[in-house]
Structure 1
């Protein structure tokens, strides 16, 4: 009799999760704020190493004179996280307006004592995407995956790096070090859009409105690179990516730590291969989460026979999120090529239309490919029973991975 009760409880729990998730996502989509930024002109610098990125970012934060606004998905409770927070406290004590916004679950390791220390120093601290009623399960799954730093309203950073020792190549897991990612420094018109994105998320987390204050939006100078900031919130990105994939004439390059495309995007990739487009996908060989690596295998089995090249990055952990279409467009940001990024998370991408920048990016991508092994159909033809089990489990819960 007891097993009937347990099965009944599991069925009820599964039904509650499904209904909670569906209604929660519907509610968020109805109430979200849709943004559509125009093409801007900015100067953009590419970073592919954490130590280089944070050395430059921290130097510019130390030179700030009016405000520092920071949003990270993850801030770790380790020596590098403390160094980062100490810098924020130092600038707040100097009289600057300093705001730190973190995802509630992504930055769960930041203690209440550390938050009090930050606030006592004058740093305003808030957490975004809190787990709350009535949609407990959906709110626990929807994460703010964005990373934004805006300094004095004139310099901004965005991309894939979070704050923690693993992002400066001090990972406790040697197989995940060094950490390979891409981040952007932006100076010019696009800074206003990133400042706007920060203020919107700041209001969500703190309920404090700062969006209309002109002091955070000084008149920008135009840069040399045309680009567009593209925020997504559970919709739009799938159709957006499909349009770009369908427009490709010669080459598609996808870089992602998690390759779990939707049926629409898989069809677009297959169409591209059928019309002779060179499709390359870079993923990590070592996974940082269970199941995600194996979940990609069924997709690769369809793409490899059509001529796709799948590179498994060997030199540490590959966390980059990029899409390159021919020589005229690339996308760098926070969205992985997976269903969680497409349908659940709050993401932030930068669409760049500049041949010279794309050339620089492709040189970095060539290094990634040189440090990778090519996956073959034979590699996936005789996998273990455990791998098959992981594939099935991952396929069943793909939107949550």
Structure 2
């Protein structure tokens, strides 16, 4: 009876909490921008470049990460912020409360003592304790002097520079972007939205953080989502596909709406390629994808399991005219629950660069066959059922 009451409370709490959030959220639609965008697909290269840009900051550093780890890279990152604050640069660090739970209070106190403003977002709150414990701010934003921006899938921790305590999850494969140009101001705006939610301090009217920006060469659009929007948007692009759809994701748990769109695309003769990790980093997420893979494989989809470490990329390419990169996974948690931030890119040259990286991923993968999934054990089938029942929370 106690277990039943607990489950009932969790279900009611989750539904009421999500409904309230959807009613009170703000929807932001940014315009098409032009920026110079560099793709970074290796953690060591990303942090070398990002830390160099932070070292060269002159006026402001705004950083939001889902996860900052309690390890040497996390300490190096925080020490760098400390030094810039001591130099007079305005530094703000925003972290997801649950994702960065292991950051020591001593480190936070150290940062605050030299003038770094530190805040946590998506705190667990009464009365919807279960819902707020599950909804995460999954965004990763870095804005330096209002002129250089970073967005993508990497968090801050040693596993992201290929020093994982679990050898089977190393090296870490992900994508991040460095932006210079008009789009940086939209990244700054998104940081300010989350900062205001967490601190009640409004930074949007401070000219220091929104300097004039030059027009770059790549057409793109910053696309924030908060539990809605992205499912419909992805569905529209899948519906428009004529030749090929490529999806890279660590967790493939589509909604019924998106699954129908993918099946219809296959019926139209569109090629579908999906890249997922062979080795899962969380329980049940691998098995959760199997019920979706079976009908897709039956219609000719190609599913590749990445073997060279852990695949954490979040990417969708439709034909040669649209590429989505950012923080959202192709799963129900990203579509219905988390706060995410993606970059929609409409530049053929940049898309060709991304596709070359995708080709490397496919070469480092094993292709999954329909027979592979028909011969799984009874225990795997059981895990599939459990995963399906709690798919939005995986």
Show structure 1 runs of 4+ deviating over 6 A.
Answer: none
Counterpart among 55, 61, 67 of residue 48 in structure 2: 55
How far apart, CA to CA, are the structure 2 residues paired with 1:213 and 1:13? 47
How far apart, CA to CA, are the structure 1 residues paired with 2:78 and 2:363? 36
Deviation (angstroms), 1:244:
0.4
Deviation (angstroms), 1:367:
0.1
What secondary structure does 1:204 align onto? Answer: helix
Per the alignment, residue 175 of structure 2 pairs with 182
Q: Does 1:393 align with 2:386?
A: yes
What secondary structure does 1:21 align onto? Answer: helix
Per the alignment, residue 279 of structure 2 pairs with 286
What secondary structure does 1:231 align onto? Answer: strand
Deviation (angstroms), 1:12:
1.3
Per the alignment, residue 302 of structure 1 pairs with 295
Q: Where do residues 87-166 of structure 1 align in structure 2 (5 Å cutoff)?
A: 87-166=80-159
What secondary structure does 1:393 align onto? Answer: helix
How far apart, CA to CA, are the structure 1 residues paired with 2:370 and 2:51? 45
How far apart, CA to CA, are the structure 2 residues paired with 1:211 and 1:176? 40
How far apart, CA to CA, are the structure 1 residues paired with 2:119 and 2:252? 32
Deviation (angstroms), 1:177:
0.3
What secondary structure does 1:22 align onto? Answer: helix
Per the alignment, residue 331 of structure 2 pairs with 338
What secondary structure does 1:258 align onto? Answer: coil
How far apart, CA to CA, are the structure 2 residues paired with 1:35 and 1:265? 23
What secondary structure does 2:380 align onto? Answer: helix
Q: What CA deviation, in whole Å up to 9, does each residue of 1:234-259 have, x standing for no partner?
A: 00111100000000000000000000
Per the alignment, residue 320 of structure 2 pairs with 327
What secondary structure does 1:297 align onto? Answer: helix
Per the alignment, residue 216 of structure 2 pairs with 223
Per the alignment, residue 365 of structure 2 pairs with 372
How far apart, CA to CA, are the structure 2 residues paired with 1:203 and 1:262? 31
Per the alignment, residue 237 of structure 1 pairs with 230
What secondary structure does 1:158 align onto? Answer: strand
Deviation (angstroms), 1:121:
1.7
How far apart, CA to CA, are the structure 2 residues paired with 1:112 and 1:64? 26
How far apart, CA to CA, are the structure 2 residues paired with 1:309 and 1:264? 20
Deviation (angstroms), 1:386:
1.5
How far apart, CA to CA, are the structure 1 residues paired with 2:69 and 2:295? 38
How far apart, CA to CA, are the structure 2 residues paired with 1:399 and 1:62? 40
Q: Does 1:352 align with 2:322?
A: no
Q: Does 1:257 align with 2:250?
A: yes
Deviation (angstroms), 1:379:
0.3
Q: Does 1:270 align with 2:266?
A: no
Q: Where do residues 66-85 of structure 1 align in structure 2 (5 Å cutoff)?
A: 66-85=59-78
Per the alignment, residue 5 of structure 1 pairs with none
Give the TM-score normalised by structure 1. 0.98
Q: How many residues align?
A: 394
What secondary structure does 1:383 align onto? Answer: coil
Deviation (angstroms), 1:385:
1.6
Q: Where do residues 180-219 of structure 1 align in structure 2 (5 Å cutoff)?
A: 180-219=173-212
Deviation (angstroms), 1:344:
0.3
Deviation (angstroms), 1:139:
0.2
**Structure 1: 5+ residue runs without aligned partners?**
1-7
Q: What CA deviation, in whole Å up to 9, does each residue of 1:145-192 have, x standing for no partner?
A: 000000000000000000000000000000000000000000100001
With 384-393 and 71-80 compared, the bigger mean Cα shift is at 384-393
Deviation (angstroms), 1:13:
1.1
**Structure 2: 5+ residue runs without aligned partners?**
none
Deviation (angstroms), 1:203:
1.1
